[in-house]
Amino acid sequence: MRFDRPVMNASGCGGTGRELGDLGVLDAMGAFVTRSITLDPRTGSPAPRIAETPSGLVHAVGLQNPGLEQFLIRELPWLASRRTRTYVSVAGSSLGEYADLGRRLGRAPGITGIEVNVSVPDGPAMGLFDTREPFQAARALAAVRGGLPPGLPVFAKLGPDSLRIVETARAVAEAGADGVVLVNAAPALMPDGSPGGLSGPAIRPLSLRCVHDVHRELPELTIIGAGGILDTDDARAFLAAGASAVQIGTALLHDPTTAARIAADLQGDPA
Ligand SMILES: Cc1cc2nc3c(=O)[nH]c(=O)nc-3n(C[C@H](O)[C@H](O)[C@H](O)COP(=O)(O)O)c2cc1C
């Protein structure tokens, strides 16, 4: 898969788009990725949800989102009316829920692709389907894929488990993924002892290793790289390691124009 503008936001770091739209940076990215949408609304975790670390942050948002129904009624039409290329990230509490999400999003207009989040840190403790084993991640992916029209791209978002990343990428590819997003936040601990995810530059070398290894073993598989990308040189390192596009997460929380600036810089690079 080729991306004309190979830069997007990472899921959860741009809400459902309006915030980035208000700042005028939505259209400058190649595509927008929604926060993970679940079938039912989720109010998320109590504050504090974010703690700074020496090289990034630990977060525990708890997958706050309006639920599929409200997303389809309120958020997606807004994105579609602006002709935003939109990837919808989904997470489910059961295989049936993943299938339902796929079926209903597959009928909705204005979607460029689906990102299946099979790597929520501490997902099972949050009531999500347990996708820690590669074959379970593959089942979740297949459940979503089954409801989508042929030709609508579906990506699996994997965690930074560098020891099993190739095995998991292979499993989801065999289950019908057009590509993988590497990687989600790493399981970590908030200062108050509650579970969270570590993002930002601290995980960049881990993420790069995942991209490198998956590209080496599965060179035909499309990879979108994410994890600690702060500037254009970081993005170029991911593209050189085998990614076809990159996502920017934590950096957007410091400076929401980061992804747009990287996209503009990369336009000048030779193809
Ligand atoms: C505040 C916050 C919320 C996030 N929410 C989601 C989410 O809803 N779904 C998801 O797949 N990833 C989520 N992530 C993970 C990011 O999409 C990304 O994979 C990870 O943070 C690594 O990229 P980064 O270092 O550029 O932030 C979230 C990250 C942060 C910092």
The pTM of this model reads: 0.98
Distance 140 CA to ligand 1 centre (A): 19
User: Residue 55 carries which side chain, given as an amino acid letter?
Assistant: S
Which residue owns the Cα nearest ligand 1 atom 22? Answer: 227
Q: In a 3-state reduction of DSSP, which class is residue 135?
A: helix
- Rounded mean pLDDT, 236-252: 98
Cβ burial, residue 222 (10 Å; 0-12/13-18/19+): buried
At residue 144, φ and ψ (nearest 5 deg) are: -70, -50
111 domain residue, yes or no:
yes
- Rounded mean pLDDT, 87-93: 98
The sign one gets for the Cα dihedral 3, 138, 63, 70 is positive
Atom of ligand 1 nearest to the CA of 204: 25
Q: Which residues pair with 189 in a beta bridge?
A: 195
Residue 148 scores a pLDDT above 90 = yes
Could you give the C-alpha distances from 23 to 26, 152, 256, in angstroms and in order?
Answer: 8, 29, 8
Residue 105 scores a pLDDT above 90 = yes
User: Encoding tokens for residue 134?
Assistant: 């590669």
Residues in contact with ligand 1 by the CB-under-6-Å rule are: 10-13, 35-36, 59, 61, 63, 89, 117, 157, 184-185, 199-200, 203, 226-229, 248-251
Rounded to whole angstroms, the Cα distance separating 116 from 59 reads 20
Distance 12 CA to ligand 1 centre (A): 5
108 domain residue, yes or no:
yes
Q: Which residues pair with 102 in a beta bridge?
A: none
117 domain residue, yes or no:
yes
Instruction: Quote the number of domains for the chain.
Output: 1
56 domain residue, yes or no:
no
Domain encompassing residue 232: 7-41+63-180+203-266
271 domain residue, yes or no:
no
Residue 147 scores a pLDDT above 90 = yes
Residue 271 scores a pLDDT above 80 = no
179-182 vs 86-90, strand pairing mode = unpaired
Report percent pLDDT > 90 for the chain. 94
Could you give the C-alpha distances from 123 to 49, 168, 201, 243, in angstroms and in order?
Answer: 16, 17, 23, 26
Could you give the C-alpha distances from 148 to 80, 134, 143, in angstroms and in order?
Answer: 18, 21, 9
Q: Please, which pLDDT band fits residue 269 given cuts at 50, 70 and 90?
A: confident
pLDDT tens digit string along 49-77? 999 999 999 999 999 999 999 999 999 99
Distance 268 CA to ligand 1 centre (A): 28
Distance 107 CA to ligand 1 centre (A): 26
**Residue 139: closest CA among 107, 106, 99:** 99
Distance 81 CA to ligand 1 centre (A): 26
- Rounded mean pLDDT, 139-145: 98
Rounded to whole angstroms, the Cα distance separating 58 from 214 reads 26
Atom of ligand 1 nearest to the CA of 12: 5
Atom of ligand 1 nearest to the CA of 229: 26
Q: Please, which pLDDT band fits residue 15 given cuts at 50, 70 and 90?
A: confident
195 domain residue, yes or no:
no
For a mutational test of ligand 1's pocket, the pick from 120, 184, 246, i.e. the residue with the most ligand atoms closer than 8 A to its C-beta, is 184
Q: What does the mean pLDDT of the chain come to?
A: 96
Residue 97 scores a pLDDT above 80 = yes
220 domain residue, yes or no:
yes
Q: Which helix (H) or strand (E) holds 187?
A: strand 186-189
Which CATH number characterizes residue 73's domain?
3.20.20.70
Q: Which residues pair with 115 in a beta bridge?
A: 89, 155
What local confidence, expressed as pLDDT, does residue 19 receive?
Answer: 87
Which residue owns the Cα nearest ligand 1 atom 26? Answer: 249
Atom of ligand 1 nearest to the CA of 183: 19
pLDDT tens digit string along 166-183? 999 999 999 999 999 999
What local confidence, expressed as pLDDT, does residue 1 receive?
Answer: 82
What local confidence, expressed as pLDDT, does residue 270 receive?
Answer: 79
What local confidence, expressed as pLDDT, does residue 167 receive?
Answer: 98
120 domain residue, yes or no:
yes
